[in-house]
Amino acid sequence: MHPSISKICDDYFKSLSLAVKQLNYWHFCDNEQDADECAELVLKGVKKATSPSLWWFKANNEALPKVGELNIVTRWNGEAVCIIETLSVSIEPFNEITAKYAELEGEGDKSLRYWQKVHWDYYHRELASTNFTPNKEMPIVCEVFKVVFKAKYDG
């Protein structure tokens, strides 16, 4: 665990005069360039949503995100950049994702066409080692979030 994980938890909870808790942490994407780019988009307020497949959660025995839940977004190297709060979670078929939602994801040119292309490729990689095969009706977990705290760096 990167030392910034504990620091951001300490800073956040102490700023609210609450007992410090450790939060779950993760990075976006499956490669360093995209993970770091998405982390920066979140910090800039451009990226406000994320969309793993429901099948990834099932294959990895992971709990679905919940409204009100706090998570730490990291860079690929595990360095904490911010804490996000989940605002909404819905499950939508891949082929019913809207242009409005694609814009919330904030990646590329923010178009639905871009979202579909990039995510279609991603879901094939995400599910490659599972018993699931991507298809146009596959369930996508659409999580909308907001940044509630940004990492503070000494220096």
Rounded CA gap, 21 and 19, in Å? Answer: 6
DSSP at 95: G
pLDDT at 56: 96
Average pLDDT over residues 123-146: 96
pLDDT band at 154 (very low <50, low <70, confident <90, very high): low
Kindly tell me if the per-residue pLDDT of 58 is higher than 90.
Answer: yes
Q: Which burial class, exposed, middle or buried, applies to 3 when counting CB atoms under 10 A from its CB (0-12, 13-18, 19+)? A: exposed
What pLDDT digit, counting tens, does each position of 67-124 carry?
Answer: 999 999 999 999 999 999 999 999 999 999 999 999 999 999 999 999 999 999 999 9
User: What residue type is assigned to position 129 of the chain?
Assistant: S
Fold of 3-150: Sulfate adenylyltransferase (3.10.400)
pTM above 0.75, yes or no: yes
- The predicted-structure confidence for 29-52, as pLDDT tens digits, reads as follows 999 999 999 999 999 999 999 999
Strands (E), 23-138: 24-26, 49-50, 70-74, 80-93
More confident residue, 154 or 110: 110
In the prediction, which pLDDT does 152 show?
86
> Quick check: 155 pLDDT over 50?
no
Based on its alpha-carbon atoms, the radius of gyration of the chain, rounded to whole angstroms, reads 16
